[in-house]
Structure 1
């Protein structure tokens, strides 16, 4: 079992928690009047530069919820062996289905801008404690209007996401994932080399993850099927 940050740094892209968007961040409350039960992750290049970037399962587990919310956008939740549940919000695309068993590092979706496309592209990532059951779209500040009461409820229901990741020794880079799974083989799509890339094929509903030795194709979110790679050049 190997854990990973949900967004993996590459030689050209690095991800951090957005300023003012940390767990129980006072600046977030000051700006929105809401208590933040998660961390918002964004590429350091900011704005929408990470729109469509891959989102990875933080650890081994089973997908317990997928869906689309009219404000949030795409949602995925994964239940892990210790009973905790990691959640991934604002996805543009969802690449897993409920009941699917995933490994840490598996592609589960891609960064979006919320259902209405009016957010800056980012990933909202949270972790519910074992035994806590909430609707996938649950927002604590809707239920608890008093800040102190709401923050207490968040501490009772949620893990600090960064502490949860650190406790698991979560890996931070795509190179870590490739070291575990293998570096990419050669992959061609319609005779075009896509080795090492995450490729969108909107004309036929495909997303091809050719960044590791295992290449998977997703068509309208079915069980993924492996695509053979070509021999190295």
Structure 2
């Protein structure tokens, strides 16, 4: 008999100490992601399943839908697309009843709100908690010195100041330590040269941002720093800052900024 009950799914991950509170027993859950799927990947996977369309046909249809969705979005419509309802908004202050849009303090943003129809599916996902990841280097905030933006847009060639826990970059010769920008689309990695690092403390760092192409990126930190500033752990510990950082207009990424 047919049923409307959602399919059963599960996610796994580890517990990481929450550096934003003073409690020593407060942890956050870091999902262990098993893959990175692009639209092209999804079209290929769908075509291999029960779809009557080829991967190229699915990709073409998606491109047409996306183009129309953008047209509607940019003419002040709210657009249901993918897993979210999308709409444009404007950030920044407007002082006085005759205020005008000022690009120095105002900017057009996209707001993406999860569609409520998936709430039942989310409630059915089981969460498998693995081990506690002790002593991971953790980035808490990053500030783009050129624009002053926090955890948002970054400026290649400018300075990035950051706070964190155990973020001092140290390591044995030949070990892959440092800061790395990971492109959200193709996972390509751009290392920050150690010569670009101007501050390298356990709780603070500063470096010159590499000449990244327009797009969206994750920032990762890898180090052998232990809880004691004079000791090294045996293996490199690497951790990802959860906010997506944007260069330029984002390069047309499909992923929304985390706010």
Whether the TM-score (by the shorter chain) exceeds 0.5 is no
Structure with higher RCO (Cα < 8 A, 6+ apart): 1
TM range (shorter): under 0.3
TM-score w.r.t. structure 1 length?
Answer: 0.25
TM-score w.r.t. structure 2 length?
Answer: 0.23
Q: Which has the larger radius of gyration?
A: 2
